[in-house]
């Protein structure tokens, strides 16, 4: 009973620590989100302000400017003196002056600054009015706009105060030439930009008061939760009855850590846990033993946290050195689990799940009955899942074939009694064929492919992945019918003349054009200047030719291609393609 009370106390302390951490993080995230929301409101105000200014400017421009009475506030614009009819007199003797779009917008921005504190500014790198001289931020933004033709948005300081700054390009229209043609502008040129600076002080002040209330609410919830936890501590019977649930809570927290790092491992651990329990039940082990085995299986790969990403996330076969490194995960798993009281009993199961019945396993080379029976069960379940799951480097086996292979290895790699039970327990298990698809779906998987199966220059799939796709074409993984081999003629001459950097730039441009068709096909770069497209349907190559020709404009490089039907041409590997071309 003393052990159980001590266990209860330790569990409660862990829960309090976790609760404190959650609430601390929750409060921090809440405050952070409030400030992010304030930023987003300011960004929205900046964009709306600019759109309003541009709409007003567009209206003025569409009328070729507007005439207003000459007053102290609206004197004649000195920078429009080149316009013949800048100043006119009406029939009733009223003196008017022409206000061009920039002049009227500047006046309006001046008024808005007084009313709302926003800082609006018309600016340009080629000045007509010195008042429109850009500051450092505007100058850098204008240089960026000249390249991207897109607005620039940043959060920065102005005189020690935080502002959202937004600048939108001014594109020269026909109506603008009345005032600006003499500067050399043509229709479509970037003539300058309209910028606005929105002070964040007001938004942040509101956020500060909201955050105080959020923190107060968080503290109330925290103390309510703390009281509930302490009250629960007294309910020893209830805690003991829910011990398994507490175990599961911790288990899934740790498993989630692995899931976020390696999605393949996540699915694998759950399947191994399920298979292990089925075998244990077939062998007559009680629920308590089966539950211990389930928890051990769920954590059997936890040591892979210490395995380098370059090995853990590698979707191909491991080298001998890489395999020796990944084997260390067993020892790491054991050392991690033995330090946690609630996992002390399962640490030994995890430690030995790669030991083989004949002594050829690792880490200690145990054999026969030296290996805990629960570890021997997990070993069989682990092997069965590896056989029946697809990987980049091998296709999955059907259940009968996998069970036959286990039987062939009975009394060698596996305990024959465990294999006998597995042959009965696993014969009718359902394996979702989609769970191990080799195409990247999650962000993590895309990064894995980008590292191992993406061409470093173009970002397209590389030659290795083409080999894999062809090897498993017409299986449950792939079903491509058509292959297009694209050649860039004269590319070597271009490379020699302009250098590799320019050559790489051209390859990237071609790849961008080909990527437009990747939603319906797979695109590869296989050699220096050769590309391959695999598709299920016939592709309209004239459309691709137009796109690529645009990328190759003025380079002297021409694209040619050859088409093959994969089935008719009996293409199963890259060598088959090479022999055809």
Closest CA to 349 of 307, 381, 309: 381
Lowest-confidence pick of 42-46, 125-129, 384-388: 125-129
Sorted by sequence, the CB contacts under 8 Å of residue 498 that are 6+ apart come out as: none
Q: Do domains 244-436 and 453-580 have the same CATH topology?
A: no
Q: 440 falls in which pLDDT band (50, 70, 90)?
A: low
Specify the 3-state DSSP secondary structure of 427. Answer: coil
Summarize the confidence of residues 298-322 as an average pLDDT: 79
The predicted structure's pLDDT at residue 237? 55
Residues in the chain: 581
Predicted TM-score (pTM) of the model is 0.49
Q: What is the CATH number of domain 244-436?
A: 1.10.3210.10
Mind listing the pLDDT tens digit for each residue in 6-38? Answer: 566 677 788 888 888 888 888 788 888 888 888
Sorted by sequence, the CB contacts under 8 Å of residue 317 that are 6+ apart come out as: 393
CA distance 411 to 577: 45
CA distance 382 to 268: 8
Measured at the CA of 562, the angle between CA 557 and CA 565, to 5 degrees, comes to 155
The predicted structure's pLDDT at residue 2? 33
Summarize the confidence of residues 498-524 as an average pLDDT: 91
Lowest-confidence pick of 11-20, 51-60, 234-243, 297-306: 234-243
453-580 folds as Alpha-Beta Plaits (3.30.70)
Q: Is 531 exposed, middle or buried (0-12, 13-18, 19+ CB in 10 A)?
A: buried
Sign of the dihedral through C-alpha 561, 564, 569, 572? positive
Q: 124 falls in which pLDDT band (50, 70, 90)?
A: confident
Q: Enumerate the domain spans of the chain.
A: 35-204, 244-436, 453-580
**Residue that wins the pLDDT comparison between 458 and 238:** 458
Mind listing the pLDDT tens digit for each residue in 261-270? Answer: 665 555 788 8
Q: Cis peptide before 363, with omega less than 30 degrees from 0? A: yes
Q: How far apart, in Å, do the first and last CA atoms of the chain sit?
A: 78
366-375 long-range contacts (CB < 8 A, ≥24 apart) are 371/415, 372/348, 373/415, 373/418, 374/280, 374/289, 374/292, 374/293, 374/296, 374/349, 375/348, 375/349, 375/350, 375/351
Summarize the confidence of residues 167-175 as an average pLDDT: 79
**Residue that wins the pLDDT comparison between 208 and 365:** 365
Residue spans of beta strands (DSSP E) within 511-569: 521-525, 530-535, 558-565
Closest CA to 162 of 127, 197, 138: 197
Residue 500 is inside which H or E element, if any?
A: helix 500-515
Q: 39 falls in which pLDDT band (50, 70, 90)?
A: confident
């Amino acid at each position: 009973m003393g052990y159980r009370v001590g266990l209860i106390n330790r569990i409660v302390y862990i829960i309090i620590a976790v609760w404190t951490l959650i609430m601390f993080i929750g409060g921090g995230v809440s405050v952070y989100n409030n400030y992010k929301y304030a930023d987003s409101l300011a960004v929205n105000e900046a964009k709306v302000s600019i759109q309003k200014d541009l709409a007003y400017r567009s209206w003025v421009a569409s009328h070729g400017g507007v005439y207003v009475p000459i007053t102290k506030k609206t004197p004649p614009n000195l920078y429009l003196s080149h316009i013949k009819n800048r100043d006119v007199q009406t029939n009733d003797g009223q003196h008017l002056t022409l206000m061009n779009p920039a002049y009227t917008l500047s006046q309006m921005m001046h008024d808005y600054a007084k009313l709302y504190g926003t800082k609006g500014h018309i600016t340009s790198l080629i000045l007509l009015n010195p008042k429109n001289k850009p500051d450092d931020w505007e100058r850098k933004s204008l240089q960026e706009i000249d390249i991207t033709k897109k607005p620039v948005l940043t959060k920065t300081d102005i005189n020690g105060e935080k502002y959202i700054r937004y600048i939108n390009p001014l594109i020269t229209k026909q109506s603008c030439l009345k005032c600006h043609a003499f500067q050399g502008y043509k229709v479509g040129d970037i003539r300058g930009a309209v910028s606005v600076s929105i002070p964040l002080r007001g938004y942040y002040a509101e956020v500060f008061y909201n955050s105080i209330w959020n923190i107060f609410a968080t503290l109330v919830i925290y103390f309510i939760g703390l009281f509930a936890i302490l009250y629960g501590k007294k309910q020893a019977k209830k805690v003991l009855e829910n011990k398994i649930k507490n175990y599961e809570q911790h288990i899934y927290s740790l498993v989630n850590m692995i899931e976020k790092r390696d999605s393949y491992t996540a699915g694998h651990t759950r399947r191994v846990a399920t298979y292990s329990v089925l075998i244990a039940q077939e062998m007559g082990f009680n629920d308590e033993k089966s539950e211990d085995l389930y928890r051990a299986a769920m954590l059997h790969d936890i040591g892979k946290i210490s395995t380098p990403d370059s090995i853990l996330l590698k979707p191909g076969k491991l080298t001998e050195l890489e395999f020796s490194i990944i084997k260390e995960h067993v020892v790491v798993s054991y050392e991690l689990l033995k330090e946690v009281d609630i996992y002390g009993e399962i640490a030994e199961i995890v430690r030995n799940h790669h030991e083989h019945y004949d002594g050829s396993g690792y880490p200690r080379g145990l054999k026969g009955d030296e290996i805990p029976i629960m570890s021997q069960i997990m070993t069989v379940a682990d092997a069965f899942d590896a056989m029946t799951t697809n990987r980049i480097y091998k296709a999955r086996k059907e259940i009968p074939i996998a069970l036959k292979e286990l039987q062939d290895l009975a009394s060698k790699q596996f305990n024959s009694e465990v294999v006998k039970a597995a042959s009965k327990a696993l014969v009718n298990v359902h394996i979702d064929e989609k769970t191990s698809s080799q195409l990247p779906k999650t962000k993590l998987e895309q990064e894995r492919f980008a590292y191992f199966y993406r061409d470093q220059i173009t970002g397209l799939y590389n030659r290795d992945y083409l080999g894999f796709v062809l090897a498993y074409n017409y299986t449950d993984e792939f079903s491509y019918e058509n292959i297009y081999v694209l050649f860039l003629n004269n590319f070597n001459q271009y490379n020699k003349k302009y250098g590799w950097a320019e050559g790489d730039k051209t390859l990237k441009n071609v790849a961008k054009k080909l990527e437009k068709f990747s939603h319906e096909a797979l695109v590869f770069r296989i050699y220096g200047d050769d590309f391959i497209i695999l598709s299920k349907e016939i592709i309209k190559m004239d459309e691709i030719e137009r796109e690529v020709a645009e990328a190759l404009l003025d380079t002297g490089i021409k694209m040619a291609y050859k088409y093959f039907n994969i089935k008719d041409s009996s293409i199963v590997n890259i060598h088959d393609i090479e022999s055809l071309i």
